[in-house]
Chains A and B, each alone.
Chain A
Amino acid sequence: MNTETQNAARRILVKGGHLIDPSRDVSEKADVLITAGVVEAIDKPGAIPSDGAEVVDARGLFVAPGFVDMHVHLREPGYEYKETVATGCLSAVVGGVTSVACMANTNPVNDSGAVTKYIIDKAKVAGLANVFPVGAVSIGLGGEALAEFGEMFEAGIVAVSDDGHPIMKSSLMRHALEYAKMFGIPVIAHEEDLDLCCGGVMNEGLMSIRLGLEGIPSVGESAMVARDIELARYTGGRLHVAHVSTAESVEMVRRAKHDGLDVTCEATPHHFTLDDSAVAGYNTNAKMYPPLRTERDVAAVRAGIADGTVDSIATDHAPHHRDEKASHFDEAAKGVVGLETVLPLTLALVRDETLTLERMVDALSTQPARNLGIERGTLARGSVADLVVFDADRAWNVNATELASKSKNTPFDGWEMRGKVTRTIVAGRSVWEDAA
């Protein structure tokens, strides 16, 4: 039996939960019936007869469109020792993420239709989360020559980005923003002026002074955000600011949105949870680019998420092998895994009343799907049944060694979390269920 016929046969009734669907402004108790991979019916609790459907008991739980993580590194092809499409997708669905956009810094770089197709095929075989590749802006992420957006677009990319390799050449950025308009896809920008950030390994501030580590000044980010917002204004292109980390960047995005520019923005859980004090003791799991900033920046990022300036939450899931993190700080790999901790870390913002639950789901599902132009992030009747069921209160402890990701580089090892995904459904198929 192929997947299509399996889906056709499968009916799931998610019953008794509190449904949050920001795409339709819904937040109420409701049952959801899934048939043949799509949402067939939504009705008052108890109104839909089970009729032989598999019943998912969601009493006391929340039901939402599956999370869409627009910033993930799946590492395949090329770095399978860190993560594969399959292990990354497993990590995703454990965290409630049903769609991931994966960055192009693989080996070979995803700057061609062939690599795009390879990744999509791997994802189909894995059969867990949806994978939407992001193509490179420049050939080989070299920052010089525009890659073939068209060929990659036809193979399935949903955005372009030289993530990890900030585009220093302003004319390339300008042309990328213009050329991408032909395909209606956003340019996702990793905003760091490498000339200003040169050699830095952590935020420049009192902590870098104490540790004797080379600092990365916050202006290295905000200067690039300023440039790219002006380029977006000039070209009318679609700019998505990745992993915003400074108060100044947030404020500039706020003004850009106010001015009506086509600018969107994401923040990561580590940037809205941790400040640079997490680097103390040369903790290499607190090393990433852009770096963890100050308390003031963390507060600004949170406020940005609350008022919608930072419309989306993305993890920048960046798996690295243990050996690559066991080095001294200067040499250690940059980046942290994040797919499996995104829900509880975002729920912490709900508990401290920074966000409503509805805004949380909006930032995790609906907005990022809109940014990528993919038909996800909604549970409207007839839409693809990507759905997550979660317990907002369940307490658990992060144990890095137990993560589903192939890599264990989390700065949250040992943390007590509240909030856990209990069931993940992708296209009407239950792909993960919490054993507890």
Chain B
Amino acid sequence: MERKRHLLGLEGVSAEDIQVLLDSAETMIEISQRDVKKVPVLRGKTVVNLFLENSTRTRISFEIAAKRLSADTINLSGGGSSLSKGETLADTARNLAAMSPDAIVIRHPSAGAAILLAEVLDCPIINAGDGAHEHPTQALLDLFTIRQAKPELKGLTVTIVGDILHSRVARSNIYGLLTLGAKVRLCGPPTLLPPMFEHLGAELHYDLATAVRDADVMMMLRIQRERQGHNFFPTLDEYARYFCLTEELLAEASSDVIILHPGPMNRGIEISSGVADGPYSLMMNQVANGVAMRMAVLYQLIIPGHDGIRGSEIPERTPTSATG
């Protein structure tokens, strides 16, 4: 039976599959550095970018990635699509599928939306962020960026700071990092860092100074300003007082620490400008690597001959009985 080829999340994706994608991105980096940044490997293929939640960076990154591989791209966003006319997500997707795209990239505000599409459609589905669930290509590009800077992911201490509860970036990174053998520390106020995260295999910290100590990688998450109104923390000022990564705090980290941020960042809130613009910050590398990583994902999923990356296969409860 042919395996469906999707990238729905990093939970359950094997280290081998992740390595294949990271290695593949390595070769894509080179394409982006050429004078003519285009190769014909996806010529004649169509990639639909279905972005039903605001996104600039990710959508553009996917679009550039597809174009560099010579795929045709169609962009659909919430406002102008038939979803605003009352069509259901599954029906929109079926209609798109009837036009035979070779992959659908979906960004949606609700968790599970990419999985829903994968259940309904045959074409490869790439999750570009579904609610607070997963954002696998972001985590892959983060892993790729770390791998560029460090010889070995295994054994590294990676600290993720911020609104862990609502973060799909954090979730995908937790899965990917743990699978590749890194140690993961999570840090934030208890309102945004429920104890259940410990069961995923991460260490929890409410104190940034402790969480920074000897860390090899600091990954700062964007704090959503709208959380302020829901009493997750009193004010952005107080949030910054406890969770803003400053140069002073960074002195406690490993001497060759690197700083990641998925963007867009709030200067002076989760990260000081000194850190953001400092020598350890790899944020612009992340953006550049994002294109290569997404080229790799598109290539690996669309071109036959690969086994595909399934991801996020949370097994259905096996048929059960009440026969006692």
Contact = CB atoms under 8 A, between A and B. Distances in A.
A344 B324 CA distance: 10
B200 A210 contact: yes
A351 B322 CA distance: 9
Interface in B201-252: none
A23 interface: no
Interface of B: 11, 88-90, 108-113, 115-116, 130-134, 165, 168, 171, 194, 196-197, 199-200, 314-317, 319-324
Contacts of A374: none
B160 to A, nearest CB: 14
A209 B116 contact: no
B88 A278 contact: no
A206 B196 contact: yes
Taking residues whose C-beta sits less than 8 angstroms from the other chain, chain A's interface range is 35 or more
A205 B317 CA distance: 18
Given A344-B322, A416-B321, A417-B323, A213 B316 contact: no
A209 to B, nearest CB: 5
Interface string A296-317: 0000000000000000000000
B320 A415 contact: yes
A323 B115 CA distance: 17
B320 A328 contact: no
Nearest to B172: A212
In the A-B complex, the 3 residue pairs with the smallest Cβ-Cβ separation, listed nearest first, are A351-B324, A212-B133, A282-B112
Contacts of B316: 280-281, 283
Contacts of A327: 88-90
A330 B88 contact: no
B91 to A, nearest CB: 9
A209 B112 contact: no
Contact of B323 (A273, A348, A414): A348
A235 interface: no
Contacts of A289: none
A348 B320 CA distance: 12
A25 interface: no
A278 B133 CA distance: 17
Contacts of B90: 326-327
28 contacts: A205-B196, A206-B199, A209-B165, A210-B171, A212-B112, A212-B131, A212-B132, A212-B134, A273-B322, A280-B316, A281-B115, A281-B316, A323-B88, A326-B88, A326-B90, A327-B88, A327-B90, A328-B113, A329-B112, A350-B324, A351-B324, A414-B319, A415-B319, A415-B321, A416-B319, A417-B321, A418-B323, A418-B324
A345 interface: yes
Interface of A: 204-206, 209-214, 273, 277-278, 280-283, 323, 326-331, 341, 344-345, 347-348, 350-352, 395, 412, 414-418
Given A211-B112, A280-B317, A323-B88, A352 B168 contact: no
Contacts of B314: 210-211, 280-281
Given A278-B317, A329-B111, A415-B322, 9 more contacts: A211-B111, A212-B112, A212-B171, A213-B131, A331-B110, A345-B322, A351-B323, A415-B320, A418-B322
A412 B196 contact: no
Nearest to B164: A209
A348 B111 CA distance: 34
Contacts of B324: 347-348, 350-352, 418
A350 B324 CA distance: 9
A331 B110 CA distance: 8
B323 A395 contact: yes
A395 B90 CA distance: 36
Contacts of B320: 415-416
Nearest to A350: B324
A350 to B, nearest CB: 8
Contacts of B132: 212-214
Nearest to B315: A280
Contact of A212 (B89, B130, B196, B199): B130
A213 B196 CA distance: 13
Given A326-B88, A328-B112, A330-B110, A211 B322 contact: no
A280 B313 CA distance: 9
A85 to B, nearest CB: 28
A209 B197 contact: yes
A323 B87 CA distance: 11
Contacts of A204: 194
A189 to B, nearest CB: 27
A219 to B, nearest CB: 13
A141 to B, nearest CB: 26
Contact of B168 (A206, A212, A341, A395): A212
Given A209-B200, A277-B317, A282 B323 contact: no
A416 B323 contact: yes
Contact of A210 (B11, B108, B109, B322): B11
A77 B316 CA distance: 36
A412 B112 contact: no
**Most central of B11, B88, B90, B111 by chain A CB within 10 Å:** B111
Nearest to A326: B90
A347 B323 CA distance: 8
Contacts of B112: 211-213, 282, 328-330
Contacts of B171: 210, 212
B42 to A, nearest CB: 29
B111 A212 contact: yes
Contacts of A277: 317
A323 to B, nearest CB: 7
A341 B320 CA distance: 14
Nearest to B120: A326
Nearest to B197: A209
A204 B132 CA distance: 14
Contacts of A348: 322-324
A78 to B, nearest CB: 20
A205 B11 CA distance: 17
Nearest to A209: B196
A331 B321 CA distance: 29
Given A212-B134, A280-B315, A283-B316, A328 B116 contact: yes
A204 B196 CA distance: 9
